[in-house]
């Protein structure tokens, strides 16, 4: 495997990791708020908080990791995306800021009951952030970022009038809710919390329909936006079929209330197939026609150094993440809530 | 200054983000160390007061970490959003430390999360304490990596510049440039100092308000001694930084000292003002001190500003930043020193006198201001360069015209964040006093004295 492919695969994998953990986190924030405002609070809120509290900080790092890695491996992308994304990028920063901070205030700062305004901010940003972030996928297809006379510009008209932009936004929002509900159903069943499980199962089944419809819609919009990319996707159509099969398996298991662990693994596979299929067919471009992974790769010395750092970092990171998961995700006593209370 | 000037606006916005972030970053690096110190003492001596100290610090720490993560994310993204051309060029040489910084941050985030939620989960108490080691290493390592990138901007090396592109890159040489050792150690030591000073101020403030609990006295002693040690270390490293500047960035040192003519036996100028003809007035001149600062010998020749072309000279106002930061630094050593020696001073055998407590409370603002001034001095002092000797600030900024609006947005954001952060922190500690917490933690009477 060439350095270029290796580099982009590493980055794409981290973005996949972010997609999953952030979706769980974003969706959980929304459900948490929703459950409070509909009076289901005591049934699901606790399960959600138990999961979220120790992991919220880790989620952010995935995103920064991707951004820094992208600039490191493909410095040209800093120039194009950096210039064009000033406004949307700043808005995402602000949303992320509000979300993280008010989460922390709510969880650690205020006494038991929580603050409904903080929770509303938390829930709303949980849907706005994925919507805003996903538009970068639309930008990367080309035709929206243009370089005219040595200046990089974002064509706002093309950006907003583009059906593909809206299809990825829609897909991002519904799949956040779907992934999150699927995970939380599994988590609630591990916690042996029947009431929470039943509510979360309903959410999961409810959001599965829109998710698959939005996926199909986005799939065909790519054809209009970037036919070359769409043709590439058809060459590896089996990956998208596999994704669909995993989706069916996951929903079936939740519907029958069986093997929820497996069900969530199928969700992971569903998004993995779609994500890597999409990414693979997008190559060799990071930004269509402007940034190409072969022509705009960093020098060899930096590539080697970064891959070495990556392997070393990974050796540290994986056991730490496993430890975190064993302590908080797979520790039945902690999940059921027999452990000491938060933060003190 | 024009609103349509993306370069100036980008500088202000970046400066603003860092202005906010640096405070929180310094706490993020230093507090885990202080928490470890308190918890370790608590476990060793079996004294519940120290354990409670660590717990209360940890609780406040999470809030500051939350805001710190947020401003850190902002600066991480703003680097590319506001300085895209710089990142395109420099990314080829310094992506490595930035990349490694994210790993360090990952480790810190993971272990801090575990630490906060496992206070009573392990039977062996040292196991919980051990979790702070990766947390502290992670935060210190991330300070190391990101500061080495900043050092590179001051002292670029490890590449050849060909047609605007860095070739023959040696990432390790770029990372371990001559500025790295002094810069990194100064940043880490000063972060420890700031954190210790903040905790000194909290303890001293409680005593000033008349709380007599022995808990506060223990807290004060532990933190003041730490602050003294860290501040002394920071000052010693600061002296090395002076020698570094004299050798590698003489224009920054000369501008800081208003040192115009190259000469030996150079005096150090403290305070004063410059008139139109660049004559120094009303300043205190300490003979030989600049030569000693620059090279440990009064005969050391110090290069003056007149040797440099005008367009490469940093603003002369950095003199005030330098003087003030050094003054603050000296206070940070002096006040704790008086506290430590107080029992030998006649008439001071009893409780800590009020004036000294006020002085100890002042350590926190002094330390934070010193850190800000230090960074302002370091950053403004390398103007007009973004990559000293290679790229000017004006060549690295974005060309987007939307920066002023983003500046307004971020000013609002930071105002809201800082005000709410302080309010939440205040509320947290007012709601729970030490006695109640001790009784909650140790119901069998580990509590009141």
Domain ranges of chain B: 6-262+303-441
pLDDT at residue number A341: 44
What contacts A11, CB < 8 A, 6 or more positions away?
A66, A69, A70, A73
- A92: which chain B residues are within 8 Å (Cβ-Cβ)? 77
Radius of gyration in angstroms for the set of CA atoms belonging to chain B, rounded to a whole number: 24
pLDDT at residue number B447: 41
Predicted confidence (pLDDT) at residue B372 exceeds the cutoff of 80: yes
pLDDT at residue number B446: 46
Predicted confidence (pLDDT) at residue B449 exceeds the cutoff of 70: no
- Are B370 and B332 spatial neighbours (Cβ–Cβ below 8 Å)? yes
| Cβ within 8 Å, pair A298-B95 | yes
Alpha-carbon distances of B300 from B260, B288, B289, B295, rounded to whole Å? 15, 9, 10, 6
pTM of the predicted protein model: 0.87
| Cβ within 8 Å, pair B117-A328 | yes
Q: Does residue B62 belong to the interface with chain A, where contact is any CB pair within 8 Å? A: yes
Residue A245 lies in a domain: no
Residue A251 lies in a domain: no
pLDDT at residue number B59: 86
What contacts B272, CB < 8 A, 6 or more positions away?
B258, B280, B281, B282, B283, B284
Predicted confidence (pLDDT) at residue A87 exceeds the cutoff of 50: yes
Lowest mean pLDDT among A101-105, A130-134, B96-100, B133-137: A101-105
Predicted confidence (pLDDT) at residue B123 exceeds the cutoff of 80: no
Mean residue pLDDT of chain A comes to 78
Distance from CA of B362 to the nearest CA of A (A): 26
Q: Does residue B341 belong to the interface with chain A, where contact is any CB pair within 8 Å? A: no
Distance from CA of A195 to the nearest CA of B (A): 25
Predicted confidence (pLDDT) at residue A344 exceeds the cutoff of 60: no
For A29-85, what is each residue's pLDDT tens digit? 888 888 777 766 566 777 777 666 667 777 777 888 888 888 888 888 888 887 888
Q: If pLDDT is split at 50, 70 and 90, which confidence band does B147 have?
A: very high
Which of the listed ranges A318-327, B41-50, B111-120, B364-373 does the model predict with the highest average pLDDT? B364-373
| Cβ within 8 Å, pair A324-B400 | no
B 129-188 residues with CB < 8 A to A: 134, 166-172
Mean pLDDT computed over A266-277: 85
Sheet strands (E) in A211-257: none
Q: Does residue B63 belong to the interface with chain A, where contact is any CB pair within 8 Å? A: yes
Nearest Cα neighbor of B20 from B297, B442, B375, B282 is: B375
Percent of chain A with pLDDT over 70: 88
- Are B428 and B59 spatial neighbours (Cβ–Cβ below 8 Å)? yes
Mean pLDDT computed over A159-184: 83
Alpha-carbon distances of B132 from A66, A324, B6, B114, B336, rounded to whole Å? 26, 14, 43, 9, 26
- Are A274 and A238 spatial neighbours (Cβ–Cβ below 8 Å)? no
Residue ranges making up the domain that contains A175: 3-201+304-334
CB pairs under 8 A between A and B: 226
Residue A51 lies in a domain: yes
Higher pLDDT, B346 or B206: B206
Distance from CA of A215 to the nearest CA of B (A): 29
Predicted confidence (pLDDT) at residue B444 exceeds the cutoff of 70: no
- B83: which chain A residues are within 8 Å (Cβ-Cβ)? 82
Predicted confidence (pLDDT) at residue A246 exceeds the cutoff of 50: yes
Find where tokens 């509320």 sit: B427
Angstrom distance (rounded) from CA B325 to CA B336 = 17
Q: If pLDDT is split at 50, 70 and 90, which confidence band does B368 have?
A: very high
B 404-443 residues with CB < 8 A to A: 405-406, 409-410, 413, 417, 420-421, 424-425, 427-428, 431
Higher pLDDT, B179 or B437: B179
Helix, strand, coil percentages for chain B (3-state, nearest 5): 70, 5, 25
Predicted confidence (pLDDT) at residue A191 exceeds the cutoff of 80: no
Q: Search chain B and give the residue with CA nearest A314.
A: B103
Which two three-digit tokens encode residue B214? 């022995």
- B98: which chain A residues are within 8 Å (Cβ-Cβ)? 68, 71-72
Look at chain A and report how many structural domains it folds into: 1
Predicted confidence (pLDDT) at residue A342 exceeds the cutoff of 60: no
Q: Search chain A and give the residue with CA nearest B66.
A: A101
Which of the listed ranges A229-243, A255-269, B308-322, B347-361 does the model predict with the highest average pLDDT? B308-322
B 96-115 residues with CB < 8 A to A: 96, 98-103, 105-107, 109-114
């Amino acid at each position: 495997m060439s350095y270029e492919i290796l580099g982009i695969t590493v980055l794409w994998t981290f973005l996949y990791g972010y997609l999953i953990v952030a979706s769980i986190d974003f969706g959980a924030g929304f459900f948490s708020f929703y459950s409070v405002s509909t009076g289901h609070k005591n049934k699901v809120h606790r399960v959600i908080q138990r999961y979220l509290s120790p992991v919220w900080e880790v989620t952010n790092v995935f995103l920064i990791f991707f951004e820094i890695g992208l600039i490191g491996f493909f410095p040209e992308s800093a120039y194009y995306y950096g210039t064009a994304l000033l406004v949307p990028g700043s808005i995402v920063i602000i949303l992320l800021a509000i979300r993280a901070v008010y989460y922390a205030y709510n969880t650690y700062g205020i006494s038991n009951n929580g603050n409904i305004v903080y929770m509303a901010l938390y829930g709303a940003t949980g849907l706005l952030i994925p919507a805003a972030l996903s538009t970068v996928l639309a930008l990367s297809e080309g035709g929206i970022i243009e370089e005219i006379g040595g200046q990089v510009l974002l064509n706002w008209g093309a950006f907003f009038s583009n059906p593909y932009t809206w299809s990825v936004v829609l897909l991002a929002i519904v799949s956040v809710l779907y992934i999150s509900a699927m995970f939380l159903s599994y988590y609630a069943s591990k916690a042996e919390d029947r009431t929470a499980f039943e509510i979360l199962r309903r959410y999961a089944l409810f959001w599965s329909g829109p998710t698959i419809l939005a996926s199909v819609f986005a799939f065909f919009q790519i054809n209009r936006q970037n036919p070359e990319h769409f043709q590439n996707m058809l060459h590896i159509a089996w990956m998208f079929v596999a994704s669909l099969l995993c989706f069916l398996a996951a929903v079936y298991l939740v519907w029958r209330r069986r093997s929820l662990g497996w069900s969530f693994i199928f969700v992971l596979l569903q998004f993995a197939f779609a994500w890597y299929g999409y990414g693979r067919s997008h190559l060799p471009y990071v930004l269509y026609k402007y940034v190409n992974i072969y022509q705009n790769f960093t020098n060899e010395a930096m590539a080697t150094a970064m891959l070495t750092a990556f392997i070393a970092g990974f050796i540290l990171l994986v056991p730490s993440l496993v430890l975190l998961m064993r302590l908080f995700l797979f520790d039945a006593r902690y999940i059921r809530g027999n452990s000491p209370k938060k933060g003190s | 200054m024009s609103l349509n000037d993306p370069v100036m606006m980008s500088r202000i916005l970046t400066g603003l983000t860092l202005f906010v972030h640096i405070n929180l970053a310094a706490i993020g690096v230093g507090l885990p160390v202080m928490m470890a110190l308190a918890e370790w003492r608590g476990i060793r001596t079996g004294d519940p007061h120290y354990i409670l100290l660590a717990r209360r610090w940890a609780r406040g720490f999470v809030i500051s970490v939350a805001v710190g993560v947020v401003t850190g994310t902002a600066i991480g993204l703003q680097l590319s959003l506001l300085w895209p051309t710089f990142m395109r060029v420099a990314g080829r040489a310094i992506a490595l430390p930035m990349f490694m910084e994210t790993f360090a941050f990952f480790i810190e985030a993971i272990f801090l999360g575990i630490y906060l939620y496992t206070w009573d989960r392990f039977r062996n108490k040292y196991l919980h304490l051990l979790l702070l080691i990766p947390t502290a290493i992670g935060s210190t390592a991330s300070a190391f990596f990101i500061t080495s990138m900043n050092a590179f901007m001051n002292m670029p090396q490890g590449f050849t510049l060909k047609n605007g592109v860095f070739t023959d890159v040696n990432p390790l040489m770029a990372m371990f440039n001559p500025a790295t050792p002094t810069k990194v150690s100064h940043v880490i030591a000063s972060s420890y100092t700031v954190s210790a000073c903040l905790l000194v101020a909290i303890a001293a403030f409680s005593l000033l308000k008349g709380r007599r609990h022995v808990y506060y006295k223990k807290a004060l002693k532990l933190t003041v001694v730490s602050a003294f040690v860290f501040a002394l270390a920071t000052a010693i490293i600061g002296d090395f930084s002076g020698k570094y500047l004299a050798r590698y960035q003489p224009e920054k040192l000369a501008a800081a000292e208003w040192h115009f003519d190259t000469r030996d036996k150079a005096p150090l100028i403290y305070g004063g003002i410059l008139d139109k003809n660049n004559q120094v007035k009303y300043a205190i001149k300490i003979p030989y001190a600049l030569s000693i600062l620059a090279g440990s010998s009064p005969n050391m020749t110090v290069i003056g500003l007149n040797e440099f072309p005008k367009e490469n000279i940093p603003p002369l106002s950095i003199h005030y930043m330098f003087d003030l930061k050094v003054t603050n630094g000296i206070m940070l050593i002096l006040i704790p020193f008086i506290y430590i020696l107080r029992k030998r001073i006649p008439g001071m055998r009893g409780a800590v006198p009020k004036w000294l407590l006020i002085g100890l409370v002042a350590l926190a603002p002094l330390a934070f201001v010193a850190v800000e001034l230090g960074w302002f001095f370091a950053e403004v002092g390398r103007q007009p360069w973004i990559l000293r000797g290679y790229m000017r600030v004006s060549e690295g900024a974005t060309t987007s015209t939307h920066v002023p609006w983003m500046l307004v947005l971020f000013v609002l954001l930071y105002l809201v964040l800082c005000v709410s952060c302080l309010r939440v922190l205040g509320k947290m500690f007012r709601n729970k006093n030490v006695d109640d917490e001790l009784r909650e933690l140790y119901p069998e009477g580990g509590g009141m004295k």
